[in-house]
């Protein structure tokens, strides 16, 4: 596949327009070929119109056919994995091993959603039979299921050029639901996005999909992305990025004559609570685990633990000392883009100037524009509670340790936390028994609670929740990882007193698809 630097509109390419922009290698600062031409307002209109027309047919595709499309995308990604990974390495500085793992995750997600829709239970089909003899009024026949929303806009993330990008989880779940997708790729991995976009285009053509079920529009989010969100034919948005970016899209979507849902993942500091008994037993081991999680991938994970709470004492001091040694000896790493690195450095400097905060360890990253050094900060609960800015995310390899004078003070700090993707507790059974109020509180603060582990690494499975209360996400009832992600792009539709022949197969009396349904309040394949 030859890169052309042009947006993908269904089965065609957009025409070059305006001044092109080059993709960049963050490790060297060198420009990468080819130049990329931004999409135009005309391209936005064409992509939206194509998607709307495609939805008429695509929403009627049986699950097996949509599953075949998802599996074909996975096969083609695997067949072209070397070229994709090599380009992604140039554009992101992520090591090939990480990109190989991300390729596996991307293809695994596609196949997981293929299996999900074939099984059919995700549709939540429900049947309540009529009862003509009910008094005082007869009971109608009522049946419902989840139906696709319509064309969806997906914004790629900066830190996952494959798994949260062009053919990542948002795209996979939207296509699985029966929704056409228009992707606005991240500007940090343009070539990678084009390669994967061409693969999805090829798979769509091979599977006989209506033109318009998939498009890719290159361009800045404030212009092209906002124009897509405002377009009246778009029915939902998936976004992973900053709080500022997510809020801008939420506001734009809410201001439309027809507001639409924006499912935005906007960042998290992922607090870790190290309870007293376990800290006394293995302070240095916990410090090593914390260090590994904080610095993994140069700290560029949305589940990076940017905050740790400990009860003051000898065990906490041993933990902090070991963590300080490890953080101070961490080699600097190349971040995904120079802009991300600049924001990280600004965050480190801001924390360094905060009253009551000690910069316990830091690594000089040199003059490279995208080079970042690890940083460790230590403060006490009083300073933390008195400075809301210490709860802000510093996206990169840094963390803040908060020393609490008592269990009550730790609980008070937990109450002040904003919504999070994750919250982690390290403790013994005795610790858990003594901190039940903390555990209960954290269920209100985070989408995923981790026990005696670290939050980096998100398992793609049916039970996973990768979401959380605002501002971690725009809608804490949703997830962007796991099979529940498909629910973001569907809505319930009810059929009352319809003749059997006019019902969708999923709701017909004989259950011709053999799917799981709730019939008169009883679950089963009946």
Catalytic residues, by residue number, are 265, 302
* C-alpha closest to that of 516 among 131, 178, 174, 118: 118
> Which residues 6+ apart lie within 8 Å of 99 measured at CB?
84, 85, 88, 89, 161, 162
* C-alpha closest to that of 54 among 212, 245, 226: 212
Distance of alpha carbon 217 from alpha carbon 237, whole angstroms: 14
Distance of alpha carbon 376 from alpha carbon 297, whole angstroms: 16
Structural contact between residues 361 and 324, judged by C-beta atoms closer than 8 angstroms: yes
Residue 492: beta bridge partners? 146
CA count, 13 A, side-chain hemisphere, 355: 6
Q: How far separated are the first and last CA of the chain, in Å rounded?
A: 48
Q: Which residues in 478-507 are b (16+ Cβ under 10 Å) and which e? A: bbbbbbbbbbbbbeeeebeeeeeeebbebb
> Which residues 6+ apart lie within 8 Å of 177 measured at CB?
117, 146, 148, 149, 486, 489, 490
Residue 413: beta bridge partners? none
Structural contact between residues 11 and 211, judged by C-beta atoms closer than 8 angstroms: yes
Residue pointed to by tokens 């090599």:
86
Structural contact between residues 400 and 306, judged by C-beta atoms closer than 8 angstroms: yes
Structural contact between residues 482 and 461, judged by C-beta atoms closer than 8 angstroms: yes
Q: What is the DSSP string of 215-267?
A: EE--S-IIIIIHHHHH-TT--EEEEES-HHHHHHHHHHHHTSSS---EEEE--
| CA-to-CA dists, residue 146 to 317, 488, 504, angstroms | 53, 10, 11
Which DSSP letter does residue 330 get? P
Residue 36 φ/ψ, nearest 5 degrees: -115, 130
Distance of alpha carbon 344 from alpha carbon 374, whole angstroms: 10
Distance of alpha carbon 245 from alpha carbon 119, whole angstroms: 36
């Amino acid at each position: 596949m030859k890169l052309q630097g042009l947006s993908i509109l269904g089965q065609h390419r957009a025409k070059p327009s305006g001044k092109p922009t080059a993709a960049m290698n963050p490790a060297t600062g060198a420009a990468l070929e080819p130049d990329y031409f931004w999409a135009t307002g005309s391209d936005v209109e064409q992509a939206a119109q194509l998607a709307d027309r495609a939805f008429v047919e695509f929403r009627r595709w049986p699950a097996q056919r949509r599953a075949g499309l998802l599996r074909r995308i996975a096969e083609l990604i695997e067949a072209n994995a070397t070229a994709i990974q090599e380009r992604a390495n140039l554009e992101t500085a992520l090591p090939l091993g990480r990109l190989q793992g991300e390729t596996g995750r991307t293809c695994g997600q596609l196949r997981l959603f293929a299996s999900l829709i074939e099984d059919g239970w995700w549709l939540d089909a429900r049947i309540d039979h009529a009862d003509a003899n009910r008094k005082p009024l007869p009971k109608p026949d009522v049946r419902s299921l989840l139906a696709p929303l319509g064309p969806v806009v997906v914004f790629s993330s900066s830190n996952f050029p494959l798994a949260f990008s062009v053919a990542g989880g948002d795209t996979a779940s939207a296509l699985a639901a029966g929704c056409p997708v228009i992707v606005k790729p991240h500007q940090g991995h343009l070539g990678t996005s084009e390669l994967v976009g061409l693969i999805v285009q090829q798979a769509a053509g091979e599977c006989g999909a209506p033109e318009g079920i998939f498009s890719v529009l290159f361009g800045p989010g404030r212009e092209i992305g906002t124009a897509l969100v405002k377009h009246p034919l778009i029915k939902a948005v998936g976004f992973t990025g900053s709080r500022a970016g997510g809020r801008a899209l939420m506001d734009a979507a809410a201001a439309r004559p027809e507001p639409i849902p924006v499912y935005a993942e906007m960042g998290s500091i992922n607090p870790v609570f190290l309870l007293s008994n376990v800290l006394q037993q293995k302070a240095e081991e916990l410090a090593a685990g914390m260090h590994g999680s904080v610095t993994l991938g140069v700290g560029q994970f949305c589940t990076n633990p940017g905050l740790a709470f400990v009860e003051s004492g000898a065990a906490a001091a041993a933990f902090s000392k070991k963590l300080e040694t490890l953080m101070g000896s961490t080699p600097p790493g190349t971040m995904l883009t120079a802009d991300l690195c600049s924001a990280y450095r600004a965050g480190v400097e801001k924390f360094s100037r905060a009253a009551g905060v000690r910069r316990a360890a830091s690594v000089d990253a040199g003059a490279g524009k995208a080079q970042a050094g690890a940083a460790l900060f230590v403060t006490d609960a009083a300073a933390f509670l008195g400075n809301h800015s210490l709860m802000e995310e510093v996206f990169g390899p840094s963390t803040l340790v908060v020393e609490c004078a008592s269990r009550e003070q730790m609980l008070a700090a937990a109450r002040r936390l904003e919504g999070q993707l994750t919250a982690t507790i390290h403790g013994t059974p005795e610790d858990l028994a003594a901190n039940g109020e903390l555990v209960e509180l954290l269920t209100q603060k985070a989408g995923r609670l981790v026990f005696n582990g670290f939050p980096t690494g998100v398992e793609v499975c049916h039970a996973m929740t990768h979401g959380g209360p605002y501002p971690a996400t725009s809608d804490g009832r949703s997830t962007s990882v796991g099979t529940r992600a498909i629910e973001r792009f569907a809505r319930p539709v009810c059929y009352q007193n319809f003749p059997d022949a006019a019902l969708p197969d999923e709701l017909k009396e004989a259950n011709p698809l053999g799917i799981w349904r709730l019939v008169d309040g009883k679950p089963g394949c009946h």
